[in-house]
Structure 1
């Protein structure tokens, strides 16, 4: 099942691979928003069906 995460800055990621979703959101958070330590659970809590 495809899941999507949308950031308040307008960036989004959609994939059916949970590991890629988590890694992509963590990378975006770190590189763009300087946010360290975003957890898998935090990412999945924000994910919605695409």
Structure 2
């Protein structure tokens, strides 16, 4: 899950610095998904049929 957050941040920064809107959008989406999975995993909810999301 940290990989998804890291990739989201990298794509977001590249998109903002290079002025590529699609990379900014994809980076934002990946960042939000990563944070949601992180929070859901931390509070103990099963994700995708798994007890833990790694």
| TM-score of the pair, normalised by structure 2 | 0.35
Which of the pair has more CA radius of gyration?
A: 2
TM-score with structure 1 setting the length: 0.37
Greater helix proportion: 2
